[in-house]
Amino acid sequence: MEILGLDIGGSGIKGAPVDIDNGALKAPRYRIPTPQPSKPASVARVVAEIAEHFSWKGPIGCGFPAPMRGGVALTAANIHKKWIGMNVASLFAESTGCPVCLINDADAAGLAEMKFGMGKNRQGVVIIITIGTGLGTALFSDGQLFPNAEFGHLEINGVDAEVRASDAARKRGKLSWKKWGKRFDRYLCVLERLLNPDLFILGGGTSKRFSKFSEFLTVKADVQPAMLLNEAGIVGAALAARSCQNEG
């Protein structure tokens, strides 16, 4: 079965049809820069453009950078405040003419990694961290997702962790991999102290550079780069849409 997966990020919105039985993209992913400012109407038009690019008429799964409940955005940390309280699923369904299922973007990436990637068949507590504009997190226990875990907003010395340890923070501060790696390690140590995970999986674009900062990580838990990299959000969004269909 194929479902169109979409991944909405701070810098780009990308999508592709996904074979949800094996996690493979059935066409090259299509990416459009995220409108600035990222207001609902502008983003909805881009979502419709991506669906039109694939001549898509079926179900759509969408990873969105906010905690979601019943298709409604609960907060807006790295997107426009107009999203708060909006039924995003209904907005995108109207713009595309297709049924749309919404899931937090980090949860989407986590579903993909647990099904097809580094977390496959892993038991215990697994935390997936997507490192990008912010720090997205997904929490699993024995393969079960606990949705909307916003651990990127843990306060460390009175500051949101993602303000100091995201990839955007590294670029903004022009930090060396060593200096940024130590900041990120501090963040992992806090998570380890609170949740005692068996495995951290690091996703997002920064995971491709894992070798540049892995030596600066001191946590006891196993730390591994994601296998699906930038495709994880698309694949996981499609998996979430299948679950929505089953529930319907």
The alpha carbon of residue 21 and the mean position of all alpha carbons in its chain are separated, in whole angstroms, by 20
- pLDDT of 64 over the 80 cut: yes
Global pTM value: 0.92
Q: Using pLDDT thresholds of 50, 70 and 90, give the confidence band for residue 59.
A: very high
CA 144, 24, 238, 247 dihedral sign is: negative
d(CA 100, CA 97): 9
Architecture of the structural domain at 2-107+231-247: 2-Layer Sandwich (3.30)
Spatial contact of 223 and 189, defined as CB atoms under 8 Å apart: no
* 94-147 confidence digits (pLDDT tens): 999 999 999 999 999 999 999 999 999 999 999 999 998 889 999 999 999 999
- What is 121-226's CATH topology? Nucleotidyltransferase; domain 5 (3.30.420)
Give the amino acid at 185: D
Q: Which residues pair with 54 in a beta bridge?
A: none
Residue 62 has pLDDT above 90, yes or no: yes
Is 2-107+231-247's fold the same as 121-226's? Answer: yes
Q: Which segment, 15-19, 157-161, 228-232, is predicted with the most confidence on average?
A: 15-19
Cα dihedral across residues 147, 187, 224, 167: positive or negative: positive
Q: What is the pLDDT of residue 245?
A: 63
| pLDDT > 90 fraction of the chain, expressed in percent and rounded | 88
Rounded Cα distance between 83 and 79, Å, is 8
Confidence of residue 162 (pLDDT cuts 50, 70, 90): very high
CB 16 within 8 A of CB 26: yes
Q: What is the pLDDT of residue 79?
A: 81
- For residue 184, the cross-strand partners are none
246 vs 74, residue with greater confidence = 74
Check residue 13 and give its pLDDT.
95
The whole-chain average pLDDT of the chain stands at 94
Q: How high is the pLDDT of residue 91?
A: 97
Cis peptide before 28 (omega within 30 of 0): no
Q: Domain limits of the chain?
A: 2-107+231-247, 121-226
- Cα 180 from Cα 129, distance rounded (Å): 15
CB atoms near residue 94 (< 10 Å): 13
Q: What is the pLDDT of residue 78?
A: 72
CA dist., res. 12 & res. 33, Å (int): 4
Average pLDDT rounded to a whole number, residues 74-80: 82
Give 172-213 pLDDT, tens digit per residue: 999 999 999 999 999 999 999 999 999 999 998 888 999 999
* Confidence (pLDDT) at 247: 58
Query: The tokens of 128 are what?
Result: 């997936």
Q: How confident is the model at residue 163 (pLDDT cuts 50, 70, 90)?
A: very high
**28: pLDDT strictly greater than 90:** yes
